[in-house]
Amino acid sequence: MPASDSRSATRAGALRAAFAFTAAITAALCVATPPAATAQAQRTAQEQRAGEPQRAGEYRRAARTPQLSLSASAYRDVVQDRVTVTLYAERESPQPAAGQAQVSELLGPVLERLKARSELQVQSSGYRTDPVWQQSRIVGWRTRGAIQVSARPSDEFNRLIGELATKLNLESVGYWLSRDAQLATERELIAEAVSAFRAKADAATKALDFRSFAVRQVAVDGGGPAHPVPVPKMAMSRAGAAEAAPVPLPGAEGRTTVTVTVTGTVALEP
């Protein structure tokens, strides 16, 4: 057989094999996709297309519905349940090292004593050494170190601070509301604020001659009190205090206001 005839026969066989393979794949795909599934997919697509005009109509009606924005608040006065006291030591010396040593000797034992009590929160509140100027020249160095002590107000805490004030100077006292107490109060106020919001929306709806309202958007915000600035107290020198018995810190916790505000938008329905 000539070589050209052999090549033609080979190409014809390859074509027949390719057609057979394609036919087999097509048949397999037809079997893998049942007619029921195809029908279901077609029905789903038809339902989606049929629902598009309805949804578009709803969107247009919602856009035409009058919207009313309003807010309402609920608040409560609560007792401040934390107190922070700032104590400090200050010394002047010809050289910085001497004053720093004296301040450290005063603060060290007090810090160790306070940190041993788990009910207290203690932290350093600044430590610095500055030159003392006189007639444009440095005549000495002033070192100052401070600590802050926070706790629940109590007579025991007042006695402790009075005792420490015989060793250190009392700089400030500040009462404030703890984060836990603020959050607990906010949780109690949410229901009151939501009720006030709905009452306000109902009153506005009736005043505008609409039948009812539907809430569209709403946000709840807690306006807790900011941490207060400690109130300065008259500093008591260690030398003067050493001559007298410890006097308890006089103090009376104040009250602060916690507020929860609900803001939102309602749709007015005729």
Among 10-19, 156-165, 209-218, the range scoring the smallest mean pLDDT is 10-19
Q: pLDDT averaged over the chain? A: 81
Among 58-67, 174-183, 188-197, the range scoring the smallest mean pLDDT is 58-67
Q: Which CATH architecture has domain 81-176+232-248?
A: 2-Layer Sandwich (3.30)
- What's the average model confidence in pLDDT over 115-125? 94
**Can you tell me which residue has the tokens 């010809």?**
94
Contacts 24+ apart (CB under 8 A), 42-47: none
pLDDT digits (tens, 9 = 90+) for 214-262: 999 999 998 766 555 555 554 444 444 445 567 777 767 789 999 999 9
pLDDT digits (tens, 9 = 90+) for 14-61: 545 555 545 554 444 444 445 555 666 666 666 666 556 565 555 555
Whether the per-residue pLDDT at 181 is higher than 60: the answer is yes
Whether the per-residue pLDDT at 7 is higher than 80: the answer is no
Q: Alpha-carbon distance 203 to 268, whole Å?
A: 12
C-beta neighbour count of 33 within 10 angstroms: 11
Q: Could you please report the per-residue DSSP string of 51-105?
A: HHHHHHHHHHHHHHS-EEEEEEEEEEEEE--EEEEEEEEEEEESSHHHHHHHHHH
- What's the average model confidence in pLDDT over 179-206? 96
Instruction: For residue 253, list its beta bridge partners.
Output: none
For residue 45, the model assigns a pLDDT of 63
What residues contact 132, with CB distance under 8 A and at least 6 apart?
92, 138, 139, 140, 141, 142
Q: Alpha-carbon distance 208 to 201, whole Å?
A: 11
Radius of gyration, alpha carbons of the chain: 40
